[in-house]
């Protein structure tokens, strides 16, 4: 759990960094063998591409850089539980271990309470992929990152 | 229906065009007021990005080019029903009218029968978005496009 907290705090720092660049406050990273091998921030505003969520950027860059075996062995950490688009991308990338700070439920409650969603856990269950999904971790700190959203 | 067939045939041609460039055989287009306003092919191989599905490319470029109102009024045509990643992107883009040739069920049966999936129709229903999803249309012709997959 202590190691989870260390990586989650790094994700929150990436989220705040994204926000300070005018992007949406989300950050993610990939850990293999206890080491961070890739980090990513949301770049929606900078890239003028509403799909460039932190997790999408992370898995695209990771899939370019590492083997399928490495991705399968890795853990994806993220400041907020992945949306349906990113969950699809994570699944396609063959990553099935996810640790998040803010739950999607808490995120939706904060920004758009009227929205419905499908959790990443349910999506992985429906796709019959044996996933390990852990969270929320340090959710109060994670939610604090949203104060930097411009 | 005749108009659906015309646009679906154009999607299948885009899918074959993608395959001939070494990409995966998928094509999509956006129609507004009866006219094609954007077309896209799968560029997964060309961009070395496993997320560059035809529909993802289509909605990213369309969201850059057109207003939210135009997107909401548009119909997305595609050679194969969108995967979960693309359905997420289409939903975020505010497009809720989808017409497809090959159903995702038929596609999975063809390429990876062991895979589970969640249909775009179910995803839109779960997100409580009043979507119009039509298909399969000319599915045999649509499946024919896969013979060009290298």
- 3-class DSSP string for B89-123: HHHHCCCCEEEEEECHHHHHHHHCCCCCCCCHHHH
- Note whether A49 contacts B60, CB cutoff 8 Å: yes
pLDDT value, residue B129: 87
Task: Give the pLDDT confidence of B29-49 residue by residue, as tens digits.
Answer: 999 999 999 999 999 999 999
With H, G, I as helix, E, B as strand and everything else as coil, classify residue A75: strand
A1: closest CA of chain B, how far (Å): 30
Order of strands, sheet of A132-134, starting from the edge strand that comes earlier in the sequence = A35-41, A27-32, A75-80, A97-102, A132-134
Mark yes or no for CB contact B86/A87 under 8 Å. no
Q: How many CB pairs under 8 A join A and B?
A: 68
Asked if residue B133 has a cis previous peptide bond (ω within 30° of 0), the answer is no
The whole-number pLDDT of residue A143 equals 97
Q: What percent of chain A has pLDDT over 70?
A: 100
User: Does the beta carbon of A112 lie under 8 angstroms from any beta carbon of chain B?
Assistant: no
Mean pLDDT over A32-58 rounds to 98
Answer whether residue A81 shows pLDDT above 80: yes
Q: Is B51 an 8 Å CB contact of chain A?
A: yes
Residue A97 has pLDDT above 90, yes or no: yes
Q: Within its chain, how far is the Cα of B53 from the centroid?
A: 8
Nearest-by-CA chain B residue for A89:
B85
pTM of the model: 0.96
- Whether the CB-CB separation of B41 and B80 falls below 8 Å is answered with no
| Run of H or E residues at A102 | strand A97-102
- Cα B28-B29-B35 angle, rounded to 5 deg: 160
Is this complex's ipTM strictly greater than 0.90?
yes
**Whether pLDDT at A1 is above 80:** no
Torsion of CA A7, A59, A83, B76, to 10 degrees: 170
Q: What is the pLDDT of residue A57?
A: 98
- The owner of tokens 């659906």 is B4
Q: Which residues in chain B are closer than 8 Å to A53, comparing Cβ atoms? A: none
What amino acid positions of B are annotated as catalytic residues?
55
Take residue A78 and report the two structure tokens written for it: 């993220």
pLDDT < 50: residue spans in chain B: none
Q: Determine, for residues A64 and B49 on separate chains, whether the beta-carbon distance falls below 8 Å.
A: yes
Nearest-CA distance A108 → chain B (Å)? 12
pLDDT band per the 50, 70, 90 thresholds, residue A43:
very high
Tell me how crowded residue A142 is: count the other CB atoms within 10 A of its CB.
28
Average pLDDT, chain A: 96
Tokens of A39: 């980090």
B149 min Cα distance to partner chain A (Å): 19
* pLDDT confidence of residue A150: 81
Tokens 């799968």 correspond to what residue? B42
């Amino acid at each position: 759990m202590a190691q989870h907290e260390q990586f989650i705090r790094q994700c929150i720092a990436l989220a705040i960094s994204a926000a300070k660049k005018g992007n949406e406050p989300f950050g993610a990273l990939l850990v293999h063998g206890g080491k961070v091998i890739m980090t990513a921030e949301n770049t929606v505003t900078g890239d003028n591409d509403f799909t460039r969520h932190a997790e999408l950027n992370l898995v695209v860059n990771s899939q370019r850089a590492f083997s399928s075996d490495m991705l399968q062995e890795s853990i994806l950490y993220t400041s907020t539980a992945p949306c349906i688009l990113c969950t699809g991308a994570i699944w396609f990338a063959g990553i099935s271990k996810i640790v998040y700070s803010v739950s999607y439920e808490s995120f939706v409650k904060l920004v758009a309470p009227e929205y419905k969603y499908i959790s990443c856990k349910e999506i992985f269950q429906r796709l019959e992929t044996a996933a390990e999904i852990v969270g929320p971790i340090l959710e109060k700190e994670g939610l604090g990152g949203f104060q930097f959203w411009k």
